[in-house]
């Protein structure tokens, strides 16, 4: 049976999200009999040569795709992006009362306790801040919460502490549909980037980055594995008594094999990375994302029937959020979409409305099908 004989829906879900059909076909081999070894990837010892090859190739492919420079370590962890909300401050905030590396370099607030800056641009960044405050000191460097996070802070609204241990930013706000086109420049302060929903769809300005993390299930592969790329010299800030599983140094020293990794998720992530590499890498993914989003925003902007919820200059290419004139019409559109094989278009339960998530694996034809439905629906109800 080939993928063409399987009915596949148009899946606009925000995550876990659609995966390339070609990858799922390859994964079928790994499911039953990997490389003629007579066993599934799920049944392999994580200390076997076979699994080590899978593991090493996934890490190497991520490093190539993201152009990760020397001095950074690439980790594959568990616990989702949500665990990184705690691990980032646990590892990088440094002990309370100690000056951070950045403050030492800049001479600012040298005697103060280490503190981190957070840019609040949606509910994920709020959760990240809440966990940071459970670990140590964290301050809000900018927030657009008053405006329902419908836009990103403008440069002049961002008040960064030059002595901060790091500045945390959510590169793409999955729920409200905004995305930093240019990540903020925090000078000597390293950025901590939650890139869960746009990793591998944009280049990373590594010279400004301290750590970048992403749950895999949006733009990297299946759920169960989390990418962390961290500047190695910053990991020295972590307290010596940090529990092993929470310590970047332990995972780095063990090449992300400190304990049993999510072998199957990493295998499929590796297949997804190869799929991206074969299609031209991050630059090609970024161009495709731009095109997909443009054809959808074009329909939303035309008539006054649909209304994009994010301010145009802050719009995301990955999650397109919009409303109809009434909730009744929104329900009807969702029903018609489902009948036409398009699922996952409901907005996040915290904001309502509609959301089309357009990650790397989203074929352009799916967006074209959605656009055709939106045009037709507007003709009938507009
Ligand atoms: C989905 C998401 C998260 C949460 O990811 P988990 O892997 O479920 O913990 C965090 N940040 C952003 C930006 C997200 O989109």
**Whether residue 228 has its Cβ less than 6 Å from ligand 1:** no
pLDDT in tens, the chain (382 residues): 455 568 899 999 999 999 999 999 999 999 999 999 999 999 999 999 999 999 999 999 999 999 999 999 999 999 999 999 999 999 999 765 444 444 444 444 444 458 999 999 999 999 999 999 999 999 999 999 999 999 999 999 999 999 999 999 999 999 999 999 999 999 999 999 999 999 999 999 999 999 999 999 999 999 999 999 999 999 999 999 999 999 999 999 999 999 999 999 999 999 999 999 999 999 999 999 999 999 999 999 997 899 999 999 999 999 999 999 999 999 999 999 999 999 999 999 999 999 999 999 999 999 999 999 999 999 999 8
Q: What pLDDT score was predicted for residue 98?
A: 47
Domain span(s) for CATH 3.90.1150.10 in the chain: 281-381
**Whether residue 13 has its Cβ less than 6 Å from ligand 1:** no
**Which residue's C-alpha comes closest to atom 7 of ligand 1?**
80
**Whether residue 41 has its Cβ less than 6 Å from ligand 1:** no
Residue 162 to residue 17: CA distance in whole angstroms:
38
Q: How far is the CA of 39 from the centre of ligand 1 (A)?
A: 32
Give yes or no: 194 in active site: yes
Instruction: Tell which atom from ligand 1 comes closest to the C-alpha of 84.
Output: 9
**Whether residue 122 has its Cβ less than 6 Å from ligand 1:** no
**Whether residue 196 has its Cβ less than 6 Å from ligand 1:** yes
The verdict on whether omega for the bond into residue 347 sits within 30 degrees of 0, i.e. cis, is: no
**Whether residue 194 has its Cβ less than 6 Å from ligand 1:** yes
Name the nearest CA neighbour of 91 among 213, 300, 242. 242
Residue of 79, 196, 228, 355 best suited for mutating to test ligand 1, as the one with most atoms within 8 Å of CB: 196
Instruction: Tell which atom from ligand 1 comes closest to the C-alpha of 217.
Output: 7
Q: What pLDDT score was predicted for residue 108?
A: 42
Give yes or no: 124 in active site: yes
**Whether residue 82 has its Cβ less than 6 Å from ligand 1:** yes
Cα 162–Cα 164–Cα 166 angle in degrees, nearest 5: 115
Instruction: Tell which atom from ligand 1 comes closest to the C-alpha of 195.
Output: 13
**Which residue's C-alpha comes closest to atom 14 of ligand 1?**
196
Q: How far is the CA of 217 from the centre of ligand 1 (A)?
A: 9
Q: What pLDDT score was predicted for residue 253?
A: 98
Q: Determine the topology of domain 28-277 in CATH.
A: 3.40.640
Residue of 16, 82, 269, 351 best suited for mutating to test ligand 1, as the one with most atoms within 8 Å of CB: 82
**Whether residue 170 has its Cβ less than 6 Å from ligand 1:** yes
Q: Which of 161, 194, 198, 247 is catalytic?
A: 194
**Whether residue 197 has its Cβ less than 6 Å from ligand 1:** yes
Residue of 120, 215, 216, 347 best suited for mutating to test ligand 1, as the one with most atoms within 8 Å of CB: 215
Domain span(s) for CATH 3.40.640.10 in the chain: 28-277
Q: How far is the CA of 350 from the centre of ligand 1 (A)?
A: 14
Instruction: Tell which atom from ligand 1 comes closest to the C-alpha of 82.
Output: 9
The correct answer on CATH 3.90.1150.10 for the domain covering 281-381 is yes
**Whether residue 81 has its Cβ less than 6 Å from ligand 1:** yes
């Amino acid at each position: 049976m080939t993928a063409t004989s399987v009915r596949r829906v148009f899946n606009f879900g925000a995550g876990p999200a659609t995966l390339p059909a070609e990858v799922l076909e390859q994964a079928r081999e790994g499911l039953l009999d990997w490389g003629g070894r007579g066993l599934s990837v799920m049944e392999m010892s994580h200390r076997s040569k076979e699994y080590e090859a899978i593991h090493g190739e996934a890490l190497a492919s991520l490093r190539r795709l993201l152009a990760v420079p020397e001095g950074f370590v690439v980790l594959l962890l568990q616990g989702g992006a949500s665990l990184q909300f705690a691990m980032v401050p646990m590892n990088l905030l440094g002990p309370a009362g100690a000056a951070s590396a950045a403050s030492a370099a800049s001479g600012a607030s040298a005697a103060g306790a280490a503190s981190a800056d957070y840019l609040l641009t949606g509910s994920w960044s709020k959760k990240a801040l809440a966990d940071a405050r459970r670990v140590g000191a964290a301050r809000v460097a900018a927030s657009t919460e008053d405006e329902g996070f419908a836009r990103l802070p403008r440069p002049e609204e961002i008040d960064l502490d030059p002595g901060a241990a790091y500045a945390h930013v959510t590169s793409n706000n999955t729920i409200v549909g905004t995305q930093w086109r240019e990540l903020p420049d925090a000078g000597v302060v390293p950025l901590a980037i939650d890139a869960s929903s746009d990793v591998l769809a944009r280049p990373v300005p590594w010279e400004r980055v301290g750590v970048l993390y992403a749950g895999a299930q949006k733009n990297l592969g299946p759920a169960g594995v989390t990418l962390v790329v961290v500047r190695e010299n910053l990991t020295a800030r972590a307290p010596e008594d940090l529990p092993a599983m929470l310590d970047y140094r332990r995972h780095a020293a063990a090449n992300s094999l400190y304990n049993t990794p999510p072998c199957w998720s990493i295998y499929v992530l590796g297949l997804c990375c190869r799929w991206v590499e074969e299609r031209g890498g991050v630059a090609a993914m970024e161009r495709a994302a731009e095109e997909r989003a443009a054809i959808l925003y074009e329909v939303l902007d035309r008539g006054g029937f649909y209304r994009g919820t994010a301010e145009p200059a802050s719009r995301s290419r990955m999650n397109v959020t919009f409303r109809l004139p009434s909730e009744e019409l929104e329900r009807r559109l969702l029903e018609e979409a489902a009948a036409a094989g398009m699922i996952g278009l409901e907005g996040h339960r915290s904001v309502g409305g509609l959301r089309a998530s357009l990650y790397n694996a989203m074929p352009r034809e799916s967006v074209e099908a959605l656009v055709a439905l939106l045009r037709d629906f507007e003709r009938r109800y507009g």
